Amino acid sequence: MLLISGFYIALTALLLLALAYMVVRLRLKHKIGLLDGGEKTIAVAMRAQANALETALPVLLLLMVAELNGAYAAFLHVCGIGFLLSRVLHAWGFVQASGGMHFGRYYGTLLTWIVLLALIVRVLWLSVGGMLGG
């Protein structure tokens, strides 16, 4: 059972839902049904949502594989919490700066990359170890 990764997948889905709601709310406000209609706030909200989704897929897949291959629960929780924090920071910074530079965006990206790299290394370690019989 994927109890730990399932938990973080559900929380990430809530974040994605909140970001999608932000896009819909702005589209309704500006009466724009498709794309951004040249409205920068909608373009920024769309990119914040898309960026979260683009990073969620590899991180959450690696989190699941790590859990299936027996990674320690503490490691999985650190990665899950780190990833959620990174995505909230990034989305907040991205929206606050209208797509420009912001410490939330910078540190959110940095933390995402750290979590992604940690998961890549751990999954490779567990996979190679398993293939070599150890």
The predicted-structure confidence for 62-115, as pLDDT tens digits, reads as follows: 999 999 999 999 999 999 999 999 999 999 999 999 888 999 999 999 999 999
Question: Which range of residues forms the domain containing residue 86?
Answer: 3-131
Return the structure tokens found at 39. 């409205």
d(Cα 73, Cα 46) in Å, to the nearest integer? 34
Number of domains in the chain: 1
Does the pLDDT value for residue 25 go beyond 80? yes
What is the rounded radius of gyration, in angstroms, for the C-alpha atoms of the chain?
17
CATH of the domain at 15: 1.20.120.550
Q: What is the pLDDT of residue 120?
A: 99
d(Cα 32, Cα 42) in Å, to the nearest integer? 9
What predicted TM-score, i.e. pTM, was given to this entire model? Answer: 0.93
Q: State the average pLDDT over residues 43-51.
A: 95
Does the pLDDT value for residue 134 go beyond 80? no
Task: Specify whether the backbone of 83 is left (phi greater than 0), alpha (psi in -120 to 50) or beta.
Answer: alpha
Q: What is the pLDDT of residue 86?
A: 98
User: Which helix (H) or strand (E) covers residue 88, if one does?
Assistant: helix 73-96
